[in-house]
Amino acid sequence: MLIVLVLVAVTGISSTLTTRVTNQVFYENEYARTREWAQSLAISTAEAVQAHDQESLGRTVQDLIKTNAVAYVAFSDAAGEVLVSGEVKSGLLQTVLSADGQTLDLKAMNVPELVWNRELGLACSEVSVPVFSKSTIRPTGTSARAIVGYLHLAVDVTATKAQLEQVSRRISHIALAMVLLAIPCCIFVTRRVVAPLNELAQTACAIAKGSTDARAHIHTDDEIGDLARSFNTMADRLTESRMELLELNAELEGRVKQRTRELQELAARDPLTGLYNRRHFGEVIAREFAAAERYDADLTCLMLDLDRFKETNDRFGHRTGDEVLAIMAHVISTELRGSDVAARFGGDEYIILLPQTSAASAAVLVDRIGDRFKDEVSRKFPEAPVGVSIGVASLRTTRAPSAEALIHEADVALYAVKDARKSDLLRDQQPRATRRRV
C-alpha cells in the first residue's frame, strides 16, 4: 500500500512538475524570442524611427504582419506618439494605446508578458523596447545613446499555448491512468513511467537553460512515448520558428542596409552629370590629404572650368548646355583611374583629385581631357564656341597646408590659365586691328 501511495504521490508530483516546467520553458523561450526579436528590430529600424520615416517603417510593419507570427506591432517616437502600427485582427492594439488612440501606453521596458485576448481568442507574448540612436562621442571621450522612440511587439503564441494545454491534458490523462493501474502495476509504473517523466523534465530544464537541441530520448509506444514525441515535436517547431524569424530579421536588416547604401550613394552624386557632388568631394580630399601628408606622397588637384559656356548656353539653349556639361563629365570619367575622384564643383566647374600623382604626370591627363573634350563637342555641336581651361596644383609643388588651400591653389592656377589665354587672344587680334585702322 505504501508503495502504491508513494507511486501515486510521485506520479502526481512528476506530472505537475512536468506540466509546470514545460509551460515555464516554452513561455520563457517565447519571452526571450520576443525580446530578442524586438531588440533586433529596434536596432535595424533605428535610423528610420529617428528620421520618422513612416514609409520605411510601414513596409517593415507589413512584412512582419505577413509572417503570421506577429499579432501586432507599433513604432512610436520618444514622446510615445505612434508613427506606424499594424495588427492581424482589428482591436488588438486598443490594449496598448492610450485613451486618445495616438500614443503608446508604455509598460516596463524589455519585460515580456503573456496577454490573453478572450474576445479574439489570441494569446500574445508582448514587449516594449526603446529604440536608441546611433552612438555618438562626447567631448570627454565617452559614448552615449539617446532614445529616439519605442517599439511595441506582440508575437502570436496561441498555437503554442494550445499545444501546451494539449500536453497538460495528456499528462493529466496519463497520471489518472497510472493511478487506476497503480495496485497491479506499481513496479511497472516505477520503471516505465517515473523514469521517462524525469527525463522529460530534465530535457525541459535543459531547453530552459538554452540548449535548444535537447530532446527527450523516449521511444516507447505508450502514452509517455507519445508525450515525449509531442514534446520533441514542439521543441523542433519552436527551433524552426526561431530560425525562420532570425532569417527574416536578417533579410530585413540586409534590405535596410542596402537601402541605406543606395540613399548614401544618391546623396553623394550630382543628378545631371553623375559625378560626385561638392560635399562628398570635400570629405574625400580631406582623407586623401591626410594620407598624403602621413606617407609623404604627392597629391594633385585639377580645377576645370568651361570657357564661353554662358555664351553657348544663351545661343543654343539650356538643353545643349546640359549636354555639354554631361560630355565634360563623360570625358573626365573615361580618362580617370580607379583611384582618382572627380566631382562637379558648381555650375560649369569641375574638380579632380589624383592621389599619388605629380604635377608633371597630371599635365598628360590635362592634355588628354582637353583634346578629347574638344573632339567630342566639335563632333556633336560644331558651332558651339565652348572650351575648357584646367588649373593644376600639386601638394609637393605648392606646399599647401590644408586640403582647402590645395583647392585654392588649383583655382588660382585655373584663372592664370584663363588670363594667359585672354592675353594670347588679344595679341592675335592686335595686328588685324592695326590693319583695320590703317
DSSP letters for 391-413: EEEEHHHH--SSHHHHHHHHHHH
Cα gap 325→367, rounded to integer Å: 18
Question: What are the φ and ψ backbone dihedral angles of 209, each rounded to 5 degrees?
Answer: -85, 0
Query: Do residues 255 and 326 share a domain?
Result: no
The arithmetic mean of pLDDT across residues 371-378, rounded, is 93
| pLDDT of 160 higher than 70 | yes
For residue 27, the model assigns a pLDDT of 75
Cα gap 415→256, rounded to integer Å: 46
Under the banding of pLDDT at 50, 70 and 90, the label for residue 428 is low
Tell me the average pLDDT of the chain.
81
CB-based contact 162:182 (threshold 8 Å): no
The secondary structure of residue 223, as a DSSP letter, is H
CB-based contact 75:149 (threshold 8 Å): yes
pLDDT over 70 percentage in the chain: 85
| pLDDT of 134 higher than 90 | no
Cα gap 235→205, rounded to integer Å: 12
Please report whether residue 270 resides in a domain.
no
CB-based contact 130:150 (threshold 8 Å): yes
The arithmetic mean of pLDDT across residues 13-39, rounded, is 79
The arithmetic mean of pLDDT across residues 89-101, rounded, is 74
Q: How many CB atoms lie within 10 A of CB 56?
A: 19
For residue 137, the model assigns a pLDDT of 46
Q: How many CA atoms within 13 Å lie on the side-chain side of 381?
A: 21
For residue 404, the model assigns a pLDDT of 94
Please report whether residue 273 resides in a domain.
no
The arithmetic mean of pLDDT across residues 212-230, rounded, is 77
For residue 346, the model assigns a pLDDT of 86
Query: Do residues 283 and 182 share a domain?
Result: no
| pLDDT of 390 higher than 60 | yes
For residue 399, the model assigns a pLDDT of 92
For residue 435, the model assigns a pLDDT of 30
Domain with 218, as residue range(s), is 2-134+144-263
Query: Do residues 287 and 240 share a domain?
Result: no
Q: Is the dihedral of CA 52, 58, 59, 62 positive or negative?
A: positive
Query: Do residues 283 and 258 share a domain?
Result: no
CB-based contact 111:137 (threshold 8 Å): no
For residue 124, the model assigns a pLDDT of 83
Residue 415, SS3 per DSSP: helix
For residue 433, the model assigns a pLDDT of 36
Please report whether residue 271 resides in a domain.
no
> Which residues are within 8 A (CB) of 131 and not within 5 positions of it... i.e. 6 or more apart?
42, 45, 46, 49, 50, 75, 147, 148, 149, 150, 151
For residue 31, the model assigns a pLDDT of 81
For residue 182, the model assigns a pLDDT of 66
Lowest mean pLDDT among 47-51, 238-242, 280-284, 408-412: 238-242
Query: Do residues 259 and 300 share a domain?
Result: no
Give residue-wise pLDDT tens across range 276-330.
Answer: 999 999 999 999 999 999 999 999 999 999 998 998 888 888 899 999 999 999 9
Give the chain's domain count: 2
Q: How many CB atoms lie within 10 A of CB 298?
A: 18
Under the banding of pLDDT at 50, 70 and 90, the label for residue 407 is very high
Residue 133, SS3 per DSSP: coil
First to last CA, the chain: 144
For residue 189, the model assigns a pLDDT of 62
Residue 80: which of 98, 62, 92 has the closest Cα? 98
The arithmetic mean of pLDDT across residues 134-161, rounded, is 71
Query: Do residues 114 and 210 share a domain?
Result: yes
For residue 38, the model assigns a pLDDT of 85
Cα Rg of the chain (Å, integer): 37
The arithmetic mean of pLDDT across residues 90-112, rounded, is 75
Please report whether residue 139 resides in a domain.
no
For residue 81, the model assigns a pLDDT of 87
Query: Do residues 27 and 70 share a domain?
Result: yes
For residue 340, the model assigns a pLDDT of 92
Query: Do residues 238 and 342 share a domain?
Result: no
Query: pTM surpassing 0.75?
Result: no
Exposed, middle or buried, 275 (CB in 10 Å: 0-12/13-18/19+)?
Answer: buried
Domain C-terminal end among 212, 228, 263: 263
The arithmetic mean of pLDDT across residues 265-279, rounded, is 83
Cα gap 56→48, rounded to integer Å: 7
Residue 200, SS3 per DSSP: helix
Domain C-terminal end among 263, 295, 328: 263
Position of cell 535543459?
206
CB-based contact 369:332 (threshold 8 Å): yes
| pLDDT of 352 higher than 90 | yes
Query: Do residues 288 and 361 share a domain?
Result: yes
For residue 438, the model assigns a pLDDT of 22
| pLDDT of 366 higher than 50 | yes
For residue 264, the model assigns a pLDDT of 66
For residue 432, the model assigns a pLDDT of 41
Left (φ > 0), alpha (ψ -120 to 50) or beta: where does 337 sit? beta
